[in-house]
C-alpha cells in the first residue's frame, strides 16, 4: 500500500504544480483551434453537411477524429477537468499559506539595516523613543503593518498583491464552473418564422437544436413568439449603397408573465420570464406561391422560405407539391428583390424589394409513396423526377412578376407568384451559467489588476545613540520609488524638514532580512 500512496502523492503533486496548470491551459487553447476552423454540429449542423459535401476527402479524415464535435469530445473534456482540478490543487495550499502570512507579523529587524538594497543614515536630537514614535506614525500613515521591538521597527505592506493573485485564480475556477453549468443544462435552437406566424418553445418547433447532456427537453420553458411584422431599411445614397440601416420586428411574446408586444432588434434580444433569450440573427424573403396540379386542384399555397446568396439578397428556394396529380410537381426558383436582366443574366442590384421577380424551372414525376423520412425544405432531390420541357424542346423556364402566373405545358398544372413576405431567423437560448461566468471574469480582472499594481515592500528603521538608520527592499523587481520612501521615513524619524538632507546609500550589498540582531 505504501508504494501506491507514494505514487498517488507524487501524481497529485505533479497535477497541482504550476507547470502542469500552464501546460493544460495551453492544451485547452490548442484544442479549441480545430473547433474554430471546422464547422461544429453543436453550432450549425447545416454547415457541417455543406462542409462534408464540399470536401469529401477531408471528411473521411475529420469524421473519425471527431472534429465536428470538438467541444464535447472525451479528449477536450479530459483536458477541461484536469485543468479544473489542477487549479484547485494549486489554489488551496496557497490560500492556507497566504492566511498564515497575513496573521504573521512583519519580519524581525535585520542585524545590518545599512546593507539592504536601499538605506540611509541620519542623526536626530532627543530621545530614541520619540524618533521611533515619529517613524511608526509615518509608516502607519502609509498603511504599513509595523512590528516594534527594542531599538527598531520592522514594517511591511503589499499583502493585497497575493490576495489579488489568488482572486484571479479562483475566478478562473468559477469561470470553468459557469461554462460547465451552461454546457450541461443550457440549450440553443434556431427557427425561421415568416411574418404573421409564430412558434412555441418546443423541441419539435426548431429547425436545429443543441442541448446540454443533462437538459430535460420535456421541461422547457413554456412560451411562444409571434412575428407580427418585420421592417428592413437599407442605405439608398451613393455612399455605402445597400448597407443595412435598420432591422427590427414587432413580436408578441406570451410567457408566464402574460402576453405583451415588444420590439425585437439585432442588439435588443427578448428575455422571457423563465430566463430564455430570443435573438434576431437573420432575415430574408418568402415569396407566396400557389401551385395547381393537372386536375386544377390547389396542390400547394403559401409562403416559401428562400435563402439569401449575396449582399443584394438574391435568394434561392424550392417549391414542392408532392400531392399534385396526376404528377407530383417541384420547382427550383430564384428570387431577386430588385431584379435586372442583362447580358450577365438575371441578378439583384439592391437588397430591398423594389422590383421583385422570380425565375424558375419545373420538375415532375410519378407520385411517390410517403416514407416518413424527413428531407430538407431548401434542397430538391430530383430522384424520380424529370425536367418539364418547353414547346421548343428546351428545358422549361419561367419569369414571373408579382401577381403573375405561368401555365405548365402538357397540362401538368400551373404556378403563380402571389406576392412576398419577409422571414426572420430567431435564435432561442438558455445559458444559466453566463451570469456567473461574467461576474467571475470581472472579479478576475479586478484581482489581476490588484496583483499588478500593489507593490509588496519592507522598511526597517533602527535608532541608536542619536543615529537613525533606515533600509528597505522591494519584493518585486518592477517596483520603484523605494529610495524616496526610505528618505521620507528617515526624515520622519529624525524630524528633518528636508528629506534630501540625510545621508543615502544606494550601493548596498545583499540584504539579510530575517536575522535577529545579536545581543
Give Cα 187 distance to the centre of its chain: 15
* Mean model confidence pLDDT for the chain: 88
Residue 273, φ and ψ in degrees, nearest 5: -65, -30
Q: What is the pLDDT of residue 478?
A: 58
DSSP secondary-structure letter at 326?
S
pLDDT of 508 strictly over 70: no
Q: Which residues, other chains included, contact 284 with Cβ-Cβ below 8 Å and sequence gap of 6+? A: 305, 306, 307, 308, 313, 315, 422, 423, 425
Residues 461-473: pLDDT tens digits?
Answer: 999 989 999 999 9
Kindly report the CA angle at 489 between 483 and 490, in degrees rounded to 5?
90
CA 416 → CA 29, 165, 282, 353, 420, distances in Å? Answer: 54, 69, 27, 18, 12
Q: Are the beta carbons of 427 and 209 closer than 8 angstroms?
A: no
Q: Give the residue-averaged pLDDT of 217-226.
A: 93
Q: Are the beta carbons of 409 and 390 closer than 8 angstroms?
A: yes
- Closest Cα to residue 443, out of 165, 55, 54? 165
Residue with cell 482540478: 85
Task: Return the half-sphere exposure (C-beta side, CA atoms, 13 A cut-off) of residue 68.
Answer: 17
Please, what is the end-to-end C-alpha distance for the chain in angstroms? 52
CA distance 222 to 215: 15
For residue 141, give the C-alpha cell. 500613515
Q: What is the pLDDT of residue 366?
A: 93
Residues 292-342: pLDDT tens digits?
Answer: 999 999 999 999 999 999 999 999 999 999 999 999 999 999 999 999 999
Q: What is the pLDDT of residue 209?
A: 87
Give Cα 485 distance to the centre of its chain: 45
Q: Which residues, other chains included, contact 99 with Cβ-Cβ below 8 Å and sequence gap of 6+? A: none
CA distance 290 to 410: 19
Q: What is the pLDDT of residue 417?
A: 96
How does residue 80 score in pLDDT terms, banded at 50, 70 and 90? Answer: confident
Q: Give the residue-averaged pLDDT of 158-181.
A: 91
Cα-Cα-Cα-Cα torsion 441, 443, 445, 450, nearest 10 degrees, comes to -170
CA 118 → CA 114, 168, 337, 509, distances in Å? Answer: 8, 32, 77, 10
CA distance 322 to 415: 14
Q: What is the pLDDT of residue 450?
A: 92
Q: Are the beta carbons of 353 and 231 closer than 8 angstroms?
A: no
How does residue 510 score in pLDDT terms, banded at 50, 70 and 90? Answer: very low
Q: Which residues, other chains included, contact 47 with Cβ-Cβ below 8 Å and sequence gap of 6+? A: 39
Residues 133-142: pLDDT tens digits?
Answer: 999 999 999 9
Q: What is the pLDDT of residue 479?
A: 61
Q: What share of the chain is helix, strand, coil (3-state, %, to 5)?
A: 35, 35, 30
For 101, the enclosing helix (H) or strand (E) is helix 74-103
Amino acid at each position: 500500500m505504501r508504494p501506491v500512496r507514494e505514487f498517488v502523492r507524487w501524481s497529485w503533486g505533479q497535477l497541482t504544480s504550476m507547470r502542469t496548470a500552464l501546460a493544460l491551459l495551453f492544451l485547452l487553447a490548442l484544442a479549441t483551434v480545430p473547433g474554430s476552423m471546422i464547422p461544429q454540429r453543436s453550432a450549425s449542423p447545416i454547415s457541417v453537411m455543406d462542409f462534408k459535401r464540399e470536401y469529401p476527402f477531408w471528411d473521411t479524415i475529420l469524421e473519425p477524429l471527431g472534429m465536428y464535435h470538438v467541444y464535447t469530445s472525451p479528449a477536450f473534456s479530459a483536458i477541461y477537468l484536469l485543468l479544473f482540478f489542477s487549479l484547485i490543487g494549486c489554489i488551496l495550499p496557497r490560500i492556507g499559506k497566504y492566511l498564515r502570512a497575513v496573521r504573521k507579523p512583519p519580519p524581525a529587524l535585520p542585524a545590518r539595516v545599512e546593507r539592504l538594497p536601499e538605506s540611509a543614515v541620519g542623526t536626530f536630537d532627543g530621545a530614541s523613543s520619540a524618533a521611533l514614535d515619529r517613524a511608526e506614525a509615518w509608516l502607519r500613515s502609509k498603511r504599513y503593518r509595523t512590528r516594534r521591538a527594542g531599538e527598531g521597527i520592522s514594517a511591511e505592506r503589499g499583502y493585497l498583491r497575493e490576495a489579488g493573485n489568488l482572486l484571479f485564480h479562483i475566478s478562473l475556477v468559477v469561470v470553468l464552473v459557469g461554462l460547465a453549468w451552461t454546457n450541461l443544462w443550457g440549450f440553443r435552437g434556431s427557427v425561421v418564422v415568416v411574418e404573421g406566424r409564430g412558434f412555441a418553445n418546443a423541441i419539435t418547433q426548431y429547425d436545429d437544436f443543441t442541448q446540454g447532456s443533462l437538459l430535460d427537453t420535456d421541461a422547457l420553458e413554456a412560451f411562444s413568439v409571434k412575428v407580427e411584422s418585420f421592417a428592413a431599411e437599407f442605405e439608398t445614397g451613393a455612399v455605402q449603397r445597400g448597407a443595412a440601416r435598420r432591422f427590427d420586428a414587432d413580436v408578441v411574446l406570451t410567457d408566464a408573465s402574460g402576453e405583451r408586444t415588444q420590439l425585437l432588434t439585432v442588439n435588443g434580444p427578448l428575455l422571457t420570464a423563465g430566463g430564455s433569450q430570443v435573438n434576431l440573427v437573420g432575415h430574408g424573403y418568402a415569396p407566396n406561391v400557389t401551385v395547381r396540379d393537372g386536375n386544377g386542384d390547389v396542390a400547394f399555397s403559401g409562403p416559401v422560405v428562400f435563402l439569401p446568396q449575396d449582399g443584394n439578397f438574391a435568394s434561392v428556394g424550392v417549391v414542392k407539391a408532392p400531392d399534385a396529380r396526376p404528377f407530383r410537381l417541384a420547382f427550383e426558383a430564384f428570387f431577386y428583390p430588385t431584379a435586372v436582366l442583362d447580358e450577365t443574366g438575371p441578378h439583384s442590384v439592391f437588397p430591398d424589394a423594389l422590383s421583385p421577380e422570380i425565375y424558375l424551372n419545373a420538375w415532375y414525376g410519378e407520385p411517390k409513396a410517403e416514407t416518413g423520412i424527413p428531407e430538407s425544405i431548401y434542397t430538391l432531390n430530383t430522384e424520380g423526377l424529370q425536367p418539364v420541357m418547353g414547346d421548343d424542346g428546351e428545358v422549361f423556364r419561367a419569369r414571373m412578376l408579382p401577381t403573375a402566373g405561368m401555365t405548365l405545358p402538357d397540362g401538368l398544372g400551373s404556378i403563380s407568384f402571389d406576392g412576398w413576405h419577409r422571414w426572420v431567423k430567431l435564435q432561442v437560448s438558455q445559458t444559466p451559467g453566463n451570469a456567473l461566468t461574467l461576474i467571475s471574469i470581472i472579479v478576475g480582472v479586478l484581482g489581476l489588476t490588484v496583483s499588478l499594481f500593489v507593490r509588496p515592500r519592507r522598511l526597517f528603521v533602527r535608532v541608536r545613540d542619536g543615529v537613525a538608520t533606515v533600509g528597505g527592499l522591494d519584493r518585486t523587481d518592477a517596483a520603484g520609488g523605494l529610495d524616496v520612501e526610505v528618505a521620507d521615513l528617515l526624515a520622519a524619524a529624525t524630524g528633518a524638514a528636508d528629506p534630501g538632507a540625510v545621508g543615502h546609500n544606494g550601493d548596498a550589498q545583499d540584504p539579510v532580512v530575517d536575522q535577529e540582531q545579536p545581543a
